[in-house]
A and B are shown apart, each in its own frame.
Chain A
Amino acid sequence: MNKYITASLLLLGCIAYIFLSNDTGSARVFVNLITFAGVYGLAAIGINVHFGWTGLLNFGHAAFMGIGAYTTVLLIPHSLGREGVIISTGLPLPIAIIFGLIASALLGLLLGLPTLRLRGDYLAIVTIAAAEIFRLLVRDFENLTGGVYGIIQFSDSLQVYRPNFVDVISTKYDVSSAQLWVAILTWISIVLVIIILSRLQKSPWGRALRAVREDEDAVRALGKNAVWLKLQSFMLGAAIGGLSGIFLVFNYGTVQASTFVPVLTFYIWAALILGGVGSLGGPALGAIIFWVIIAGTDSISRLLFESPDGQQLAGVRFVIVGLLIMLFMIFRPSGILGKKEELLLDVK
């Protein structure tokens, strides 16, 4: 069966599932799901640039998402969690977002410079460590970041741009207008990012990244600077991660040290693998399916436990997502939209 038909059927099935399994408030569930799917999808697109295009193993995506989000939020009006220190001045949001993306890209540069000259596994290790260090720094520098209490009251900067039609729709379907607005912006961003990436993928630059993915030494022998190409790819993917982190915190309306934890990176990888490494639309599709599965596992939890607490929910999620990744690796290692011929199992 054609993979695009498979993908469309899966998507339709997912949407049907949501509306059938939640007779009350299904629109609400749908918007919630589509927002998270968008955020994770965008993040997975970033990892796809790293891994799918260039063969770089990034296991610390949460850090790139986090630094983009914190930078943006700290530059706009916000208030710090515990003492409720209100900072009422700040940059206009679009400019703050640009700084956020630059911060993510710079973190990519910082991590990439020393490691991208070395073998691929070093990058994997360094990114894992960096994400953990980032989380600890955020937790401990409470004066700046709000630590575990986090930052709140920054959403207005985004919501002031909310057009009227969003409110009209949200009243009609009884969904959160703020979340709907985040969802719309996230998916617009995904479309824009995919358009840009599809240009790049076909370009000499994209081709050069693929060559790096295949064989760095041969790239060098042909007079191309493999390290610089890897750095650029790393920074671009990091910035895309940063953008998704920004949407994530606007979706929550708050951000704290526990927002960007290692499991976030794991889930994003799961979405990428489901959707298909290397394909343009795969990551976003994978993220939708991932979130439907999460919704599904939560209903399974409700069957297993009377009223499952957060830990029980998370446990069942882990088991089922893990199983699913295993099944995909065995039966469809290229994911739903990936090309079999470009299957990636080896690493730079």
Chain B
Amino acid sequence: MSNNILSVNSLTKSFGGLEAVNVENFQINSNEITSLIGPNGAGKTTFFDLITRFQDADSGSIFFKNKNVSKTNSYMLARLGMVRTFQLTRVFDRMTVYENMQFAGSSIKNEGFLNSLFNKTSLRKDEGNLIEKIDDTLKMLNLYEMRNAYARELSGGQKKLLELGRSLMKDPEILLLDEPLAGVNPKLADNILEIITNLNAKGINILMVEHNINAVMKISDRVVVMAEGKIISDGKPDFVRSDKKVIEAYLGSSDE
């Protein structure tokens, strides 16, 4: 068995004449923070969508934990341990922060119609057991004070945190974060980075898309650069930072 948790071969996706994604080969090694960077429209979000099965690829295959998941439903993939967030934050607006977390954490079994209707004691116990985990997560994310607010009342940055917190309720093995720092103030950004680093230390693999280059270089074990659908560079932060192709396509010379 290889030690990669996620492996992608010849994954392509076109929109009309535009080839949004064309990735020959891509692996995530266990227990790393990998960042995916690249110019706007490079295909990063589409690549995320393909991996998480939110969109069907035109061709290619995806292996998660050495299992072929190229045709697996997105929600099944999430159950297997691959959980994502969205570039445009998606919280359940008209549910409270707490309910957002409860929904994420509750088991499929308890969400069954009959189990819910007859409100078994086991169900109540399960729901009770969630409380502690929810509280801990909310406290870690500094959302505890807001737990009874409707999610739509949160600020943009707080919504990002809630989305992250919700994902954590799933105990993911790999977390795909699409621009976790976008629209977040520097202090909160530092918080989120620290949280991400801590999660990784607990054994959660991280794959994140992020435009904040300083942050990316600071916390990533590995940086992957996409441009026009293809991976053009892949390696340690220092390697990528000085890669000519990357400077040309994305970083520019502002780095000097």
Interface residues of A (CB under 8 A from B): 196, 199-200, 203-208, 210-211, 213-215, 217-226, 229, 232, 236, 341-342
A-B contact pairs, 24 of them (CB 8 A): A196-B117, A199-B117, A200-B113, A203-B116, A205-B113, A205-B115, A206-B116, A207-B103, A208-B103, A208-B106, A210-B95, A211-B103, A214-B92, A215-B92, A217-B90, A218-B92, A218-B163, A221-B83, A221-B85, A221-B86, A222-B167, A223-B108, A236-B113, A342-B94
Please provide the 5 A-B residue pairs with the shortest distance between their CB atoms, ordered closest to farther.
A203-B116, A205-B116, A223-B78, A214-B92, A218-B90
The minimal Cβ–Cβ distance linking A348 to chain B, given in whole angstroms, is 12
* A221 vs B73: C-alpha distance when bound (angstroms): 10
* CB pair B75 A204 closer than 8 Å: no
A222 near B166 (CB under 8 angstroms)? yes
Q: A214-B92, A342-B94 are in contact. Are A203 and B78 (CB under 8 A)?
A: no
Instruction: Give the shortest distance, in Å, between B92 (CB) and chain A (any CB).
Output: 4
Q: How large is the interface on B (under 10, 10 to 19, 20 to 34, 35 or more residues)?
A: 35 or more
Note all chain A residues with C-beta closer than 8 A to B169. 222
Smallest beta-carbon distance B117→chain A, Å: 6
Q: Judging by beta carbons under 8 Å apart, are A223 and B170 in contact? A: yes
Give CA–CA (A90, B30) in the complex, Å. Answer: 66
Q: Given A223-B78, A225-B75, A341-B150, check contact A208 B111 (CB 8 Å).
A: yes
Q: What residues on A are CB-neighbors of B104 within 8 Å?
A: 222
**Interface members, chain B 87-129 (any A CB < 8 Å):** 90-95, 99, 102-104, 106-108, 110-113, 115-117, 119, 123, 127
**Residue pair B116, A223 in contact (C-beta under 8 Å):** no
Chain A residues lying within 8 Å of B99, measured Cβ to Cβ, are 207, 210
Point out the residues of chain A lying under 8 angstroms from B111, CB to CB: 204-205, 207-208, 224, 229
| Contact across chains for A214 and B119 when beta carbons are under 8 A apart | no
Task: Note all chain A residues with C-beta closer than 8 A to B79.
Answer: 223
Chain A residues with Cβ below 8 Å from B95 are 207, 210-211, 214
- Among residues of A, the one whose C-beta sits closest to the C-beta of B81 is A223
Q: Are B106 and A221 in contact (CB under 8 A)?
A: no
- CB contact under 8 A between A218 and B108, given known A207-B99, A211-B95: no
Shortest distance from the beta carbon of A54 to any chain B beta carbon, whole Å: 13
Nearest chain B CB to A306 CB, angstrom units: 51
Which residue of A is nearest B49, CB measured?
A217
Q: Please report the C-alpha to C-alpha distance between residue A35 and residue B170 in the assembled complex, in whole angstroms.
A: 48
A171 to chain B, nearest CB (A): 41
Does B78 lie within 8 Å of A204, measured CB to CB?
Answer: no
Most buried by A among B91, B108, B111, B169: B111
B52 within 8 A of A: yes
Check if A221 sits within 8 Å of B92, measured CB to CB. no
Report B's interface with A, CB cutoff 8 A: 52, 54, 73-76, 78-79, 83-86, 90-95, 99, 102-104, 106-108, 110-113, 115-117, 119, 123, 127, 150, 163, 166-167, 169-170
Measured in the bound complex, the distance between the Cα atoms of B26 and A107 in whole Å is 46
Contact A221 B84 (CB under 8 A): yes
Count chain A CB atoms within 10 A of each CB in B85, B99, B103, B166 and give the residue with the most.
Answer: B103
Report which of B54, B83, B110 forms a contact with A217, defined as CB distance below 8 A: B54
CB of B103 within 8 A of CB of A222, answer yes
Known: A204-B127, A214-B93, A222-B103. 15 other contacts (CB 8 A): A200-B117, A203-B123, A205-B112, A205-B117, A207-B106, A208-B106, A214-B92, A217-B90, A221-B54, A221-B83, A221-B84, A224-B75, A224-B103, A225-B73, A225-B108
Inter-chain CA distance A199–B83, complex, in Å, is 30
Cβ-defined contact, B75 with A220, below 8 A: yes
CB neighbours (8 Å) of B106 from chain A are: 204, 207-208
Residues of A near B107 (CB, < 8 A) are 204
Q: Tell me the minimal C-beta distance from B133 to chain A in angstroms.
A: 15
Q: How many A-B residue pairs have CB under 8 A?
A: 109
Q: Once bound together, how far apart are the Cα atoms of A218 and B52, in whole Å?
A: 12
Chain A residue at minimal CB-CB distance from B108? A224
Given A221-B74, A341-B94; A200-B83 close (CB under 8 Å): no
Looking at the assembled complex, report how far the CB atom of A193 sits from the nearest CB atom of chain B, in whole angstroms: 12
Contacts of A222 in B (CB 8 A): 75, 78, 83, 103-104, 166-167, 169-170
CB proximity of A227 to chain B, nearest CB, Å: 9
Residues of A within 8 A of B108 (CB): 223-225
How far is it, in angstroms, between the C-alpha of A220 and the C-alpha of B86 when the chains are bound? 12
Query: B110 to chain A: which residues have CB within 8 Å?
Result: 204
Contacts of B119 on A, CB cut-off 8 Å?
199, 203
For residue A239, give the distance in angstroms from its CB to the closest CB of chain B: 12
Contact of B90 among A203, A215, A341, A342 (CB under 8 A): A215
Q: Report the separation of the CA atoms of residues A221 and B85 in the bound assembly, to the nearest whole angstrom.
A: 8
Q: How far is the CB of A343 from chain B (nearest CB, A)?
A: 8
The answer to whether A217 touches B86, judged by C-beta atoms less than 8 angstroms apart, is yes
B163 neighbours in A (Cβ, 8 Å) = 218
List, in ascending order, chain A residues with CB within 8 A of B92's CB: 210-211, 214-215, 218
What distance in Å separates the Cβ of B236 from its nearest Cβ neighbour in chain A? 30
In the complex, A200 Cα to B112 Cα: how many Å?
Answer: 11
Task: Output the nearest chain B residue to A221 by Cβ-Cβ distance.
Answer: B84
Cross-chain contact A207 with B94 (CB below 8 angstroms): no
Known: A215-B90, A220-B54. A203 touches B83 (CB 8 A): no
> Which of B91, B94, B150 is close to A218, meaning CB atoms less than 8 Å apart?
B91
Complex Cα spacing A290 to B111, Å: 35
- Which B residues lie within 8 Å of A210 (CB)? 92, 94-95, 99
